[in-house]
Chains A and B, each alone.
Chain A
Amino acid sequence: MKLELKGITKRFGSLVANDHIDLTVEQGQIHALLGENGAGKTTLMNVLYGLAQPDEGEILLDGKPQHLGSPSNAIRAGIGMVHQHFMLVPVFTVAENVTLGLERTRAFGWIDRRRTRRDVRELSERYGLQVNPDALVEDLPVGVQQRVEIVKALLREASVLILDEPTSVLTPGETQELFRIMRELQAGGRSIVFISHKLKEVQEIADVVTVIRRGRVVGQLPPTASDSELAALMVGRSVQLRVTKPPAHPGDVRLDVQDLRMAGDQGTAALDGVSFQVRAGEILGVAGVQGNGQTELCEALLGLRPVDGGSVRLDGRDLTKAHPQQRLRAGLAYVPEDRQEDGLVAGFSVAENIILDVFDQPPYARGIAMDLPTRDRTAAERVADFDIRTTSTATPVGTLSGGNQQKVILAREVGREVRVLVASQPTRGLDVGSIEFVHRRIVQQRDQGLAVLLISSELDEIYALSDRIAVMYEGRITGFRPPDVPAEELGMLMAGASDADAAAASAAVVEAPAGGPDTGLMASGLLGVGVPTDTTTDPASSTPSTPADDQSPADDDGGEPE
């Protein structure tokens, strides 16, 4: 089905969320809608899905104008939507979820479960979705839950499928799987609107890219357009996709972690003897698939959970048993992985969040009385310094965009005297402009002599920032590598290959470059590591690896005990 949007305008009060947007999606096309958070993508899709009524403009399906007053009209017209946050009932089975809202009944109102199950299985086979109709949704990984949403839309005979930021909750492996499914759907003649703010994904999957900025279509490009072209169009200025970084000048050891052990929730070891050192003026990147002990490592470093063994030293001072507050006061700064949950008090003002960890320290407090003018003055300075876009320092932080929230956290953490910065997934869910800002700040902190521990499951980020890379797998650090290590080798380490094996396999690839993807690569791909095999999009493989380095990985472990 061909979908046309003509002159769609949607206002909220004085804000124009969509300003005369024209968009044409041909049948069997994957049309990417690229824009920063708050550019109006989601509003536009809500208009299309009947959740919001446009103030002007019209929607045409196969040339016929439509009046989509509600989602049910939109569904009837053949539009399906997979929301960013899934609309599934966790305690229902897949089949029950899929049938919800269109329960088909047999005589006497019996719900026809068998037919639904059969339909789900059929669709699942046809598009390679691999969804078991009898599984409980709460037991399924996020990637599969998303596929259940897709099945839901397909069962309602959607011929235009809207995917709203579908990859934001997926691991790299799951993303590849989603892309495969999208291609299958495309081959089946369905049109897909793919909303994203990730350039690489758009380039990889889309047929056409429409860029939206501040509610307007600012351009339409083929997916072959370069990163910087797309980013510049999206942000409205040229963006540095990779922060420029002078070489590191590592100084003394600041953070010294030895043989850290912690039992996990399921009784297995979450941390199984983790040791590393971070020096002043360097960034140690910890790569690894989510759930291999990174969260526990952060909790151990901050003292949120007791460790079962090992030690944490900051500037030689033993903090293994210290309370989080003592660690923060000793000069540890922490950017938590889940900023909504652990980083900010959403109902508190920007100012209150900026002093959240120094609220009882002078000059913010005298005795138990807080000094509000000082607090507000400091907050105003930081807001200016960190370019936090907020109407005032009294605005509740929960109303800010993700990027600005992260800036508030950074402003708090590095605003005071700190020695070590632990940043966990610092750019998760942020758009290009904010990522650039956060990265620049992290490098800036390093250059001012901080020791930075960066924990990220985004390989791009690890490559962009790290001066050294450590790979975590099942609670252990499986190897240290220089920042120019090939992605394949990191991928093997992330999938659990031993240090020596990874190095050897990587060397073999270099020796036989014509051999194509070798077995190690395949293995890492299957395990969902999501190492991009497409060399054109991968920053690491564009810098050719030097075999000499790779064959002697032990060299740059620099005396770190394994």
Chain B
Amino acid sequence: MSEPAAPPPPAAAEPATAEDTSSGTGRPPFSRVVLDAILEGNSVVVTILAIVVAMVLGGLLIAFTTPAVLQAWGSFFSDPAHAIALAWDTAVGAYVAMFEGAIFNPHTLAAIFNQASLATALHNGYVSALFNPLSETAVNATPLILTGLSVGLAFRAGLFNIGAAGQWIGGAIVATWLGFGVSLPPVIHVIVCVIGGFVGGAVLGWIVGELKARTGAHEVVVTIMLNYVMYFFLAYILGTSVMQQPGRSDLISPVIDVDARLWHIAGPSLRVNAAFLLALLAAAGVWWLLERSTTGFQFRAVGANPSAARTAGMSVERTWVRAMLLAGGLAGLAAVAVIQGTDYQLNFQSYGTYGFDGITVALLGRARPLGIVLSALLFGALHAGGVQMQASTQIPVDIVTVIQSLIVLFVAAPPLIRAMFRLRKAKATGLSENVAKGWNA
């Protein structure tokens, strides 16, 4: 982006390095190019359009995978209007159900007005039912915010953390064990478990950082491998007397103490809990760390240009270790949110897809805390809505995964979106950039 000159930029970085054969650095590695593209990001417009296009394509998919609609298309030539109308209604119906599950359900509002008074409505839980969709969205978004921050923070330091899944398990094991294995006074128990979860994830992150710093082992390989190690370690430890719930033959831990559970913040009937606040706090903390602290300055400098950071006296290796440690800790907090917030116990598949969804969330949020929170909320809403959609329309919840993947696909391929909507790329040509560099040398 800093290259002034010629229009086709790919070769730009090359001659400069070819010039001094002694240093022999060559072109930037592929991972760097990818990283730059992600961090440089797209305009907000492109992101929003990507979401819209993904939703439209998701709607088409819904319409054309539903048996009734397919049947109607079979008799398209006898009754085309019916086929089109049915396809439209199915897709719209699915999205309406999603909306009702994720944000607001008019039926519950109607139910409130059917009650004798507001007091009875409150008493019978109709009012809290009104907020249930939002609560579910928040609950689904919470671990995604944290794994998204984990991946995003590492991104900013120039590292690909594919290991949030493994780090999640590390945090989950420690938090769960502390939750049922020790007994402590109420508030302290929660705090100890939260810290334990953070440490459990941080240790795994630290291992990755340390291996990269000392041996140069690439973090992508190490984190992927550690994910497998942790999957099997979880299955193993849940089968031992350390973690297995007494009297059970399947791989599941005991339920954690009531004292170790995170508080509900909107009444006992809604699942939303303090973990959501913890996640927002973590996002604010990561923002402060990156933008206002010396540690974050090092993270960003090392992430943007490790050679310049090293030349300016920073220890690139130590920065890697610290960034991975914090990233692992954040993934551990995601486990805290699930175990102490909603599930209260750990089974051999609890890790779900939090770790990998975190990559998606960080990508969509351009590795910036606010963006991560917003994209996690979007994905949380899709998850919460998907459950409702399956319940009320029998359309499989997997469609949500498809929509998510489509969003990522379009976000990762901005030229596609630009071409679709005939957007002009901002300062596209090298020419204008050359001129923008100013007249003064």
A-contacting residues, B1-39, CB 8 Å: 1-8, 11-12, 14-25, 39
Give CA–CA (A142, B17) in the complex, Å. Answer: 10
- In the complex the two chains form, is B11's CB within 8 Å of A88's CB? yes
- Given that A46-B431, A265-B24 are known contacts, is A37 also in contact with B4, CB under 8 Å in the complex? yes
Whether the Cβ atoms of A37 and B441 lie closer than 8 Å is: yes
**Known contacts A12-B431, A86-B15, A356-B308; A341/B437 CB under 8 A:** no
Known: A12-B432, A346-B1. A38 touches B441 (CB 8 A): yes
Q: Closest 10 A-B residue pairs measured CB to CB?
A: A398-B2, A325-B313, A403-B441, A357-B312, A389-B440, A360-B294, A356-B312, A342-B311, A345-B305, A83-B6
Q: Does A100 contact B (CB under 8 A)?
A: no
A145-B18, A360-B294, A389-B440 known; A348 vs B301 contact (CB < 8 Å)? yes
Q: Is the CB of B20 within 8 A of A370?
A: no
| Cα–Cα distance between A347 and B22 once the two chains are bound (Å) | 27
Report if B352 contacts A (CB, 8 A).
Answer: no
Query: Do A338 and B1 touch (CB < 8 A)?
Result: no
A486 at the interface (CB under 8 A from B): no
Q: Which residue of B3, B4, B301, B441 is within 8 Å of A356 (Cβ)?
A: B301
Query: Does A39 count as interface, using CB distance less than 8 angstroms?
Result: yes
CB of A414, distance to nearest CB on chain B (Å): 14
The answer to whether A295 and B441 touch across the interface, beta carbons within 8 angstroms, is no
Contacts of B298 in A (CB 8 A): 359-360
Is B309 among interface residues, defined by CB-CB distance under 8 A?
Answer: yes
Q: Would you give the shortest CB distance from B137 to chain A, in whole angstroms?
A: 34
The answer to whether B440 touches A404 (Cβ under 8 A) is yes
A321-352 residues at the B interface, CB under 8 angstroms: 323-325, 327-329, 334, 336-338, 340-348, 352
A142 close to B15 (CB less than 8 A): yes
A227 to B300 CA separation, bound complex (whole angstroms): 45
The answer to whether the Cβ of B426 comes within 8 Å of any Cβ in the partner chain is no
Q: Does A552 contact B (CB under 8 A)?
A: no
Q: What are 19 A-B pairs at a CB distance below 8 A?
A: A15-B435, A37-B441, A43-B434, A85-B5, A265-B22, A295-B22, A324-B310, A325-B313, A338-B16, A342-B307, A342-B310, A343-B308, A346-B1, A347-B39, A370-B292, A399-B437, A402-B441, A403-B441, A430-B441
Within 8 A of A (CB), among B407-441: 429, 431-441
Question: Would B441 and A345 count as touching, CB distance under 8 A?
Answer: no
Given contact pairs A295-B23, A338-B20, A399-B436, A345 touches B309 in the complex (Cβ within 8 A):
yes
Q: Is the CB of B441 within 8 A of A434?
A: yes
Least CB distance, A456 to chain B, in whole angstroms: 13
The residue of chain A having its C-beta at the shortest distance from the C-beta of B309 within the complex is A345
Interface size class of B (residues with CB under 8 A): 35 or more
Flag A270-294 by CB within 8 Å of B: 1 or 0 each: 1000000000000000000011011
Bound CA span A86–B308, Å: 25
* Beta-carbon nearest neighbor of B441 in chain A: A403
Chain A residues within an 8 Å CB radius of B399: none
Contacts of A324 in B (CB 8 A): 310-311, 313
Q: How far is the CA of A17 from the CA of B300 in the complex (A)?
A: 35
Interface residues of A, Cβ cutoff 8 Å to B: 12-13, 15, 17, 36-40, 42-43, 46, 51-52, 83-88, 90, 141-142, 145, 164-165, 169, 214, 264-265, 270, 290-291, 293-296, 302, 304, 323-325, 327-329, 334, 336-338, 340-348, 352, 356-357, 359-360, 365, 368-370, 372, 389, 398-404, 430-431, 433-434
- A142 and B18 in contact, given A214-B439, A325-B315, A352-B297 (Cβ under 8 angstroms): yes
B294 near A336 with CB under 8 A, answer no
- C-alpha gap A214/B438 in the complex (Å): 10
Which residue of B7, B12, B308 is within 8 Å of A345 (Cβ)? B308
Is B84 an interface residue when CB atoms closer than 8 A count as contact? Answer: no
- Do B11 and A86 touch (CB < 8 A)? yes
Given A164-B6, A325-B315, 20 more pairs with CB closer than 8 A: A13-B432, A38-B434, A43-B431, A51-B431, A85-B3, A265-B24, A270-B22, A295-B23, A329-B313, A337-B20, A342-B308, A343-B308, A347-B1, A352-B297, A360-B298, A368-B295, A370-B294, A372-B292, A400-B437, A403-B440
- Whether A401 and B435, one on each chain, are in contact in the complex, defined by CB atoms closer than 8 angstroms, is no
Query: Are A38 and B313 in contact (CB-based, < 8 A)?
Result: no
B439 engages A169 (CB within 8 Å): no
B314 in the interface, Cβ–Cβ < 8 Å?
A: yes
Q: How far is the CB of B320 from chain A (nearest CB, A)?
A: 16
Q: How far is the CA of A275 from the CA of B6 in the complex (A)?
A: 43
Distance, CA A291 to CA B17, complexed state (A): 12
**Which of B15, B23, B293, B308 touches A369 (beta carbons < 8 Å)?**
B293
Of listed A85, A302, A344, residue having the most chain B CB within 10 A? A85
Q: Which residue of B lies closest to A215 (CB)?
A: B439
A42-B434 contact in complex given A169-B15, A328-B313, A345-B309, C-beta closer than 8 Å: yes
Contacting pair B293 A341 (CB below 8 A): no
Question: Which residues on A sit within 8 Å (CB–CB) of B294?
Answer: 359-360, 365, 368-370
CB–CB B438/A389 < 8 A: yes
Contacts known (A84-B5, A142-B18); A323 close to B313, Cβ less than 8 A? yes
Q: For residue A359, which residues in chain B have a CB less than 8 angstroms away from its CB? A: 294, 297-298
B374 adjacent to chain A (CB < 8 Å):
no
**Are A357 and B313 in touch, CB under 8 angstroms?**
yes
Q: With A341-B307, A368-B293 given, is the CB distance from A325 to B314 under 8 Å?
A: yes
